[in-house]
Amino acid sequence: MSAAAPQHTDETPAFNGQPPADFPIDRSLKIYEETLKDEFTNNVINAMGPATAPRTREIFTSLIRHLHAFAREVNLLTPEWFYGINQLNKMGQMSDEKRNEAVLVSDVVGLEALVDHITQAHILHTSHGATPSAILGPFYRENSPRYPNGGDIVQKHFEGEETALVHGRVIDIHTKQPLAGVTIEVWHTAPNGLYEQQDPEQPEFNLRGTVVSDEDGRYAFKCLKPTSYPIPYDGPAGDILQAQGRHPMRPGHIHWRVTKPGYGSLITQIYDRQDKYTYNDSVFGVKDELVVDFVECKTGEAKWELVYDITLSLDKETAKLQGL
């Protein structure tokens, strides 16, 4: 199979938006001899114009090569390809400000977790010992309510809920000093397994909140001990799980986004060691370093207590990789 590469001309319309920024890190692209010999695939790759940015060219070269190799390996047929195209369309149609189906699909095939591992490996080069990152997931919302330290992010209570006090310090990995003024956003599901934006019965921003570390780097908030829940499985992500005979459950977890003005963000999650899905996560997001132990709260402020220190790297190169 072969076809001539379309010629790039000055009239070729520009992309909408900028190509992704490049980062000054070492990368190596594995090039397979046999695919280099394929004229059709090479023609598609060579259709890229001379102005294509180096990183954009590297990504598309590899993406086209692997997509073509995949289609050949499984003998992909037109009805199967069209089913996949329809699923991609459905992902977009189901997504809005409150739901991100593309992230969910990426999660159930392990892609977001893999990309997080790759990014984390680069971060650890300069910031060994920093609190590991984890996947963002599809349910982050900006501008959650600001609470004073020790504030309670629970706006609606549920029968059988178990309250928790979470507190600790934010430390700079390089200076070992406490970090004041660090913004900590947290969010988790209600005991019914739903984030507030999925559940019309919950108040806006229930179980979401923002606290800021004090001059000693200390922070605290009250929430619920997180419970395991199914990811939404009424769309393409659910279709994948069903086709593969898999469950949709995630272990109980709290999401974190930790930022300081002028720097990047730490996106992470903590997982309850006692949860039966902690080592059987439908989106492969758990890292050993992020598994925590809730202990009985002796002060009576809550049923459970979690002391969790966050070690942040505010190295500017690291911050660039942390993105969001």
Identity of residue 168:
G
Nearest approach in angstroms of CB 253 to Fe ion is 6
Q: How far is the CB of 197 from Fe ion (least distance, A)?
A: 12
Q: How far is the CB of 254 from Fe ion (least distance, A)?
A: 8
Nearer to Fe ion, 137 or 217 (CB): 137
Closest CA to 183 of 304, 97, 312: 312
Q: Single out the segment in contact with Fe ion by CB under 5 A; choices: 2-10, 80-88, 134-142, 311-319.
A: 134-142
Q: Which residue has the tokens 């996106």?
A: 267
Q: In whole angstroms, how close is the CB of 207 to Fe ion at the nearest point?
A: 11
Phi first, then psi: give them for residue 108, nearest 5 degrees.
Answer: -70, -20
Contact 182, 216 (CB under 8 A): no
Q: Which CB atom, from 112 or from 315, has the smaller least distance to Fe ion?
A: 112
**DSSP annotation string for 149-166:** TTEE---S--TT--EEEE
**Nearest residue (beta carbon) to Fe ion:** 137
Let me know: does 273 contact 221? Beta carbons within 8 Å: no
- Site mask, Fe ion, residues 258-297, x = CB under 5 A? ----------------------------------------
- Partner residues linked to 172 by β-bridges: 312
Nearer to Fe ion, 217 or 238 (CB): 238
Tell me if 236 contacts Fe ion by CB under 5 A.
Answer: no
Region of 97-105, 117-125, 133-141, 176-184 interacting with Fe ion (CB under 5 A): 133-141
Q: Which stretch binds Fe ion (CB under 5 A): 22-30, 70-78, 129-137, 278-286?
A: 129-137
Among 139, 120, 151, smallest CA distance to 289 is for 120
Q: How far is CA 84 from CA 80, 219, 227, in A?
A: 6, 46, 33
* Alpha carbon distances (Å) from 130 to 26, 33, 66, 174, 319: 21, 39, 34, 9, 12
Asked if residue 137 binds Fe ion (CB under 5 A), the reply is yes
Smallest separation (angstroms) from Fe ion to the CB of 306: 17
- In degrees and rounded to multiples of 5, residue 195 shows phi and psi of -75, 155
Nearer to Fe ion, 68 or 257 (CB): 257
132 makes contact with Fe ion (CB under 5 A): no
DSSP bridge pairs for 267: 257
CB of 285 to Fe ion, least distance (A): 8
Residues making contact with Fe ion (CB under 5 A): 137
